[in-house]
Amino acid sequence: MICKGFGITLAQFFAEGSMVELTEEQQTMFEAWRTLSPEQKDAISHLISVMKK
């Protein structure tokens, strides 16, 4: 679900180096995501899934 939100593949998500170039907005979101607790990540994932409908 995260990859879909960033418009990247799972392979790109786990790639090392410069294979994936994130926009400034994507980089900001990714950095924020990394600091969240598992519970917060679940809440954000749920919110995104509800908003997609």
- pLDDT of 21 reads 77
Contacts of 13 (CB under 8 A, 6+ apart): 2, 3, 6, 20
**Of residues 28 and 17, which shows the higher confidence score?**
28
- pLDDT of 39 reads 96
CA distances from 5 to 28, 38, 46, 48 (A): 13, 18, 13, 8
Q: How many domains does the chain have?
A: 1
**How does the average pLDDT of the chain come out, rounded?**
86
In which band, very low, low, confident or very high, does the pLDDT at 38 lie, cut at 50, 70 and 90?
Answer: very high
CA distances from 30 to 4, 22, 26, 53 (A): 13, 9, 6, 23
**Which residues constitute the domain of residue 32?**
2-52
CB 1 within 8 A of CB 48: yes
